[in-house]
């Protein structure tokens, strides 16, 4: 399988458990890898046959900013389900980083890999 990826997609949103986190937007950075077959798109040079990373990016941004959640775990599970349902991929890996979460760390985050249900 081939891989389409998005690296360091930046989204400012409200996320967090603590009251102070619910008052100000924080930066999240997404790395997303999606397995797919790129041969049909490559052969025809047709974006309609490609896994369109621009549309995936737009969808991730729209969902992440639409309704705040408290946990990164909740957000990445939701995003994985959306990507597997709405886009032509059989597997997705999402890594989200939250740089402002721990002052002593450069960043913290969560990474998951999910497969399309058969």
The residues carrying an active-site annotation are 98
d(CA 99, CA 88): 31
d(CA 82, CA 77): 9
What separation in angstroms does the CA of 2 have from each of 42, 71, 82?
12, 31, 20
Q: Helices marked H in 21-100 — which ranges? A: 39-44, 53-66, 72-86
- In 3D, which of 91, 95, 93 has the Cα closest to residue 118? 91
């Amino acid at each position: 399988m081939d891989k389409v990826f998005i690296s360091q997609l930046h989204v400012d949103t409200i996320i967090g458990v603590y009251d102070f986190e619910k008052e100000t937007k924080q930066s999240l950075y997404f790395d997303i890898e999606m397995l797919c077959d790129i041969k049909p798109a490559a052969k025809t040079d047709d974006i309609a046959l490609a896994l369109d990373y621009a549309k995936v990016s737009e969808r991730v941004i729209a969902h992440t900013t639409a309704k705040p959640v408290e946990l990164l775990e909740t957000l990445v599970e939701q995003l994985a389900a959306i990507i597997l349902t709405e886009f032509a991929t059989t597997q997705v890996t999402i890594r989200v980083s939250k740089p402002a979460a721990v002052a002593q760390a450069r960043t913290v985050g969560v990474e998951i890999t999910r497969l399309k249900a058969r």
